Amino acid sequence: MFQPDTYNESTIRSLDWKEHIRMRPGMYIGKLGDGSSPDDGIYVLIKEIIDNSIDEFVMGFGKTIEVMIHDQQVTIRDYGRGMPLGKVVDCVSRINTGAKYDSKVFKKAVGLNGVGAKAVNGLSSFFKIQSIRDGKTKIVEFQRGEITNEENEKSCDLRNGTLVTFIPDEELFGKYHFIPEYVHKMLWNYVYLNTGLNILFNGERFYSQNGLLDLLKANIDTPELYPIIHLREGDFEFAFTHCEMYGEDYYSFVNGQHTTQGGTHQAAFREAVIKTIREFYKKDFDTNDIRASMVAALSIKVQDPVFESQTKTKLGSLNIEPDGMSIRNYIMDIVKKHLDDYLHMNPDTAEALLRKILQSEKERKEWSNIKKIAKESVKKVSLHNKKLRDCRIHYNNHDERRSESTIFITEGDSASGSITKSRDVNTQAVFSLKGKPLNSYGLSKRVVYENEEFNLLQSALNIEEGLENLRYNYVVIATDADVDGMHIRLLLLTFFLQFYPDLVRSGHLFILQTPLFRVRNKQKTFYCYTPEEKSNAISNLGGSPEITRFKGLGEISPDEFKYFIGSSMRLDPVILRKDSLLNDVLSFYMGKNTPERQNFIIDNLRIEEDLVNEARIN
């Protein structure tokens, strides 16, 4: 609270556009991050520029977008109309300036607030914009939002369009890195939602002919129980099927924007599918029995959509403008009409869907008593033990920091103790395992409720009914860098991939990397994550520095550990690659304990050679 003598005219400041963007980046791009998470800011910067190019394509201008990433530099070229040359500077450096306010020019655009390109400019150490329009071009260069070079308009024989090059600022993002799989996923989503669009990424072509049908075929990694149902009308398209998997998975979009947190359109679609299926089979099935194991994609285009944040991850619109019809009724009418017709015309699919629902109903009833006992167990255990040391954002009003929420899953009192003492109590929680978890490969989901460890972990994450109420954005496996630690890591990965694959697909699961060595003298200390880093540190220090090998997390003091789970934390995302079949992955890693699997685990441990030679897995 300001005191009277300090609260005066001198304390009032007006920030210009770039100062505000750099001081409050979360308002514009959600969060910063180092690139290890798919929603980190460096990917949002790419998206903001491509969104403008997509809007050109949607309006009928430019069928190709070229994207190049080399080290930290991103270049995006479209062949749309090109910005009006006299307004290039304003369009990338003046807030609330752009053509998106004129619905005649951009009817169903993604970017609506005239902010995206300005945010990229303000958060980049280098930003260059070139507009080519009707035989002329304009080039302007910026550094952290300040103009460093502005060329006069001149003649140009290049095709119309816009060329943007930028380098995200290390002062804000730290030592970031682009993960190609995240960029690939973003670009594939663009072409799935825009039939006829070509995107070239570092020379690789991204193109889709069948929209959401192609999207599901590319992303489903378990057997389908019936052919994908793919239907569309007007501005709404949807596709879905049921698979041999637990949970449910949704890919939802608004005007081509991936709404990872869903919103009114996704809620309406789920309601419409349930209502249509109940009426078709003339039976009041339980909602969970219909939704279990369902994978769906849906896309709607609306004018002037309302999102719940600048990052546009959740649709808040209730009505379709300018018609005024509710989104719920619009989607309900389309789904009911087309899905009902489809099931009548495809009896084999209708029969397969019914079998799946009845199987889910049977499993749910068999598990009901087990789940009831398990929930009571959770309550009792939670009262008498400290397996979960939670973070404060779940008890205080810290909505602005919920994207930072993290839970470390670790094993043993010493390791969990070090992390607990070092963590940020506002955003970081710790879940302590009791020894090695059960190998759940090939087991049914009832084991989640019968096994106390899995039951408590599921409860801590709050994922029993899906990801909508997931309590942590980052679920981090933190185990020792030795054979036992790798084995525990694989057992946990099996648990999540087997029963909650949507947690992995949504980019929430990570592996914590901690240093293997400390190399120091009286002046400097280096923490080294690989033998190569250790050799470089020894060379830098010279002489005979002290070298410590950290054999377990518990050997790292809390004072040191805070550096490894703070702003410089290294997280490796768990990514299901596009060509990986989930069942094949699980079978290889956690099937019979074959020599091939044992050798793979040992060969891939990041530990010293002498420890590798002693490695054995029971």
Q: What is the mean pLDDT of residues 226-245?
A: 94
Range name among 148-152, 165-169, 389-393 with the lowest pLDDT average: 389-393
* Burial class of residue 74, CB neighbours in 10 A (0-12, 13-18, 19+): buried
Tell me if 387 sits within 8 A of 412, measured CB to CB: no
| Amino acid present at 305 | P
pLDDT of res. 612? 35
Residues near 200 by Cβ (< 8 Å), separated by ≥ 6?
Answer: 64, 65, 66, 67, 206
pLDDT in tens, 276-323: 999 999 999 999 999 999 999 999 988 877 777 655 677 776 776 656
pLDDT at residue 379 tops 90: no
Confidence of residue 595 (pLDDT cuts 50, 70, 90): low
Region of 242 (left: φ > 0; alpha: ψ -120 to 50; beta: rest) is beta
pLDDT at residue 614 tops 50: no
- Residue for token pair 């009831």: 372
Q: Is 77 helix (H, G, I), strand (E, B) or coil?
A: strand
Residues near 486 by Cβ (< 8 Å), separated by ≥ 6?
Answer: 479, 601, 604, 605
Q: How far apart are CA 95 and CA 517, in angstroms?
A: 48
- Nearest-CA neighbor of 93 among 144, 56, 131, 49? 144
Q: How far apart are CA 283 and CA 289, in angstroms?
A: 12
Range name among 127-141, 440-454, 488-502 with the lowest pLDDT average: 440-454
Q: How far apart are CA 254 and CA 556, in angstroms?
A: 47
- Nearest-CA neighbor of 263 among 303, 315, 310, 304? 315
pLDDT of res. 333? 94
Token pair recorded at residue 574: 């768990």
Rg, the chain, Cα only? 26
Q: What is the mean pLDDT of residues 374-398?
A: 67
Residues near 477 by Cβ (< 8 Å), separated by ≥ 6?
Answer: 409, 489, 492, 493, 509, 510, 511, 512
Most confident of 27-31, 68-72, 219-223: 68-72
Most confident of 15-24, 479-488, 502-511: 502-511
Q: How far apart are CA 490 and CA 496, in angstroms?
A: 10
pLDDT in tens, 200-214: 999 899 999 999 999
Region of 45 (left: φ > 0; alpha: ψ -120 to 50; beta: rest) is alpha
Element (H, E) at 104: none
Range name among 126-135, 188-197, 233-242, 398-407 with the lowest pLDDT average: 398-407
pTM reported for the whole predicted model: 0.81
What angle is formed at CA 84 by the lines to CA 82 and CA 85, rounded to 5 degrees?
100
Range name among 291-295, 344-348, 414-418, 596-600 with the lowest pLDDT average: 596-600
Q: What is the mean pLDDT of residues 579-600?
A: 62
Token pair recorded at residue 601: 């685990």
DSSP assignment letter at 321: B
pLDDT at residue 98 tops 70: no
pLDDT at residue 163 tops 50: yes
List beta partners, residue 240: 229, 296
> Rounded to the nearest 5°, which phi and psi values hold at 305?
-65, 150
Tell me if 140 sits within 8 A of 131, measured CB to CB: no
List beta partners, residue 470: none
Q: How far apart are CA 182 and CA 356, in angstroms?
A: 32
- Residue for token pair 């944040």: 309
pLDDT at residue 157 tops 60: yes
Q: How far apart are CA 501 and CA 582, in angstroms?
A: 9
Tell me if 77 sits within 8 A of 162, measured CB to CB: yes
Q: How far apart are CA 462 and CA 364, in angstroms?
A: 18
| Count of C-beta atoms within a 10 Å radius of residue 573 | 18
| Count of C-beta atoms within a 10 Å radius of residue 398 | 15
Most confident of 312-321, 376-385, 407-416: 407-416
**Beta strand pairing status for 509-513 and 474-478?**
parallel
pLDDT in tens, 26-48: 888 888 888 988 889 999 999 99
H helix count then E strand count, the chain: 22, 25
Dihedral angle, C-alpha 164, 169, 175, 176, nearest 10 °: -40
Mean pLDDT of the chain: 84
Q: What is the mean pLDDT of residues 422-430?
A: 92
Residues listed for the chain: 618
**Beta strand pairing status for 73-78 and 546-549?**
unpaired
Domains of the chain, each with CATH number or no CATH: 17-206 (3.30.565.10), 212-362 (3.30.230.10), 385-514+550-613 (3.40.50.670)
Residues near 64 by Cβ (< 8 Å), separated by ≥ 6?
Answer: 78, 79, 197, 198, 199, 200
pLDDT of res. 608? 39
Q: What is the mean pLDDT of residues 485-513?
A: 89
- Nearest-CA neighbor of 478 among 567, 560, 530, 418? 418
Q: How far apart are CA 49 and CA 162, in angstroms?
A: 10
pLDDT of res. 137? 96
- Nearest-CA neighbor of 178 among 71, 49, 28? 71
Please provide the DSSP assignment of 341-369 as one string: HHHHH-HHHHHHHHHHHHHHHHHHHHHHH
Tell me if 553 sits within 8 A of 418, measured CB to CB: yes
Range name among 6-10, 56-60, 280-284, 587-591 with the lowest pLDDT average: 6-10
Token pair recorded at residue 397: 């009003």
Residues near 264 by Cβ (< 8 Å), separated by ≥ 6?
Answer: 315, 316, 317, 318, 327, 328
Q: How far apart are CA 170 and CA 160, in angstroms?
A: 32
Token pair recorded at residue 238: 């949807």
pLDDT of res. 201? 97
- Nearest-CA neighbor of 485 among 390, 605, 585, 366? 605
pLDDT of res. 465? 79
Token pair recorded at residue 145: 């939002």
